[in-house]
Amino acid sequence: MAMMHNMDTTESWSGEGVGTSVESFLAHINREVPEYSPTEVADAVMSALCERLPGGLVQELREQFPEGLRRLFERSWKDRTAPAQKFEKDDFYLDIAERLQVEPENVRLVLHVFFGSLHSQITEKLAQKIRAEMPPNIAGTFDAARRDADLPR
């Protein structure tokens, strides 16, 4: 049964890939980690994620986003000819930490919040495909964000 909700005021996940809006996507990040710029968080994580996912998944992700988010992440969509980087937790955390100029131990919270916003944009089917490409420890954070678990502090 589909949930009815106002797309302008909620980040509720529907599992239908209908997305919300760029404003609500960034507002969720800003609300949960106000010490970081929401656009910088979104750009850093999406860029790192797109470099590690196969090109077909990146394309599916792009197609499920509303137009505003497609434009926001324009720099993140990797060249279709570029091979995916190896997806390991430590390298992924360090990549995001360097992009945001933060300590690596702060990355898990940032990931949790970003993944929560990401889940509001994509279908369950695509979420499962993305999860299958992640190392187990990052997949755990991805799952926790989907379940709206307590933020890791």
Burial class (CB in 10 A: 0-12, 13-18, 19+), 92: buried
**93: Cβ contacts below 8 Å, ≥ 6 apart:** 104, 107, 108
Tokens of 147: 């379940």
* Rounded CA separation 149/116 (Å): 10
Band of residue 1 on the pLDDT scale cut at 50, 70, 90: very low
> Is 35 a residue whose pLDDT tops 90?
yes
pLDDT at 41 over 60: yes
Region 75-103: what's the mean pLDDT? Answer: 83
User: Residue 16 — φ and ψ, nearest 5°?
Assistant: -110, 0
Whole-model pTM? 0.81
Mean pLDDT computed over 116-140:
91
Share of the chain above pLDDT 90, in %: 41
Question: Which of these, 75, 69, 85, 71, lies nearest to 117 by C-alpha position?
Answer: 69
Spatial separation of the C-alpha atoms in residues 52 and 15, rounded to whole Å: 23
- Please name each of the domains of the chain with its CATH number: 22-74+83-146 (1.10.490.110)
